[in-house]
Amino acid sequence: EVALASLVRIARGAVRIERNPSLCYVNTVNWDLIAKWDTLKNYVAKNKGALDCPGCQSTCPEGLCWSRTECQIQPESHCHPLCLGGCSGPGPRDCNSCVRLVTADNECVEHCPLGTYQHLNRRCITREECTAIDLPSGSSKGLRYHSSSGRAAKKYVVFNGTCIDSCPPGYEIDAAGTGCTACAGGKCQKWCAGQNIENIASAQILRGCTHIEGSLEISIKTGKPKIIFEELEENLGSIEEIEFYLKVARSIPIVNLNFLRNLTTIRGIHQLPVGYKGLGGGE
């Protein structure tokens, strides 16, 4: 048996259950009542025959059940249109869950009230609640800076009525680190964590990055020089600044550094270990 006795709705998608010769109680569930997104795609066939399975209890409405002991729950038709999965009353505060968004007062709404922001397409929260949410540990999206202040944002920000983990294209975090502002001239800085480039795949991680937080180390031992240069130019060509140092070592295919055509500054905040030579500390 499937025995999903509490399942009352599949918001998107369809149901397909087939070729389960021992599975009962799939024909005693009204799947069209649960998966209304596209009922023509619901498909239940070639499972154990209904005549070979026990029936529903006589008390189950319309003879629908998940098992011998569990009737299929049928959400009340008097629920508010914004309710999902049944309700305890007719109002938007009586829903078991919401089709769109839920407020702090557990009210289902189509749009978040003034002064609150949509978070994860599920709930409405205040600006203070949004900007207190930490980004996932290790997320590269934490490396977001305001170009003038140099301030990094490692928490969620608000933008256009939403609470988001990073600003959209053409925007950067504001000086306060809590919202988004249009980039000067439409060109945004893109901060990325330092990398050790050992192959084309690791270079592709830095595509479009303008500022490297950390060091950039390149050590590509094999490959055709022309192909390696083209890939490095495409993926590292936007880099303008490196915070620590640049190290190029044991890279036989690399004959020049022209692929770093936009690099103007290596701050050298942390130098190479003693015994190594590299570029650091200058513009």
Whether the per-residue pLDDT at 9 is higher than 90: the answer is: no
Instruction: Please write the tens of the pLDDT for every residue from 26-54.
Output: 999 999 988 887 888 999 999 999 889 99
**φ, ψ for residue 90, nearest 5 deg:** -85, -10
**What structural domains does the chain harbor?**
1-74 (3.80.20.20), 129-186 (2.10.220), 191-266 (3.80.20.20)
Cβ(117)–Cβ(104) below 8 Å: no
Residue 86 backbone zone (phi > 0: left; psi -120 to 50: alpha; other: beta): left
Instruction: Please write the tens of the pLDDT for every residue from 73-132.
Output: 876 667 898 998 788 888 999 998 899 999 999 999 999 999 999 999 999 999 999 999
Q: Residue 3 CA to chain centroid, in angstroms?
A: 31
**How many helices and strands (H and E) does the chain possess?**
4, 19
Instruction: Please write the tens of the pLDDT for every residue from 211-241.
Output: 998 999 999 999 999 999 999 999 999 999 9
Mean confidence (pLDDT) of the chain: 86
Q: What CA–CA distance (Å, rounded) separates 118 from 167?
A: 15
Residue with tokens 């007062």: 105
Give 76's contacts (C-beta < 8 A, 6+ positions apart).
Answer: 86, 87
Which pair of tokens denotes residue 48? 């154990």
Could you tell me the pLDDT band of residue 279, with boundaries at 50, 70 and 90? very low
- The answer to whether the pTM exceeds 0.85 is no
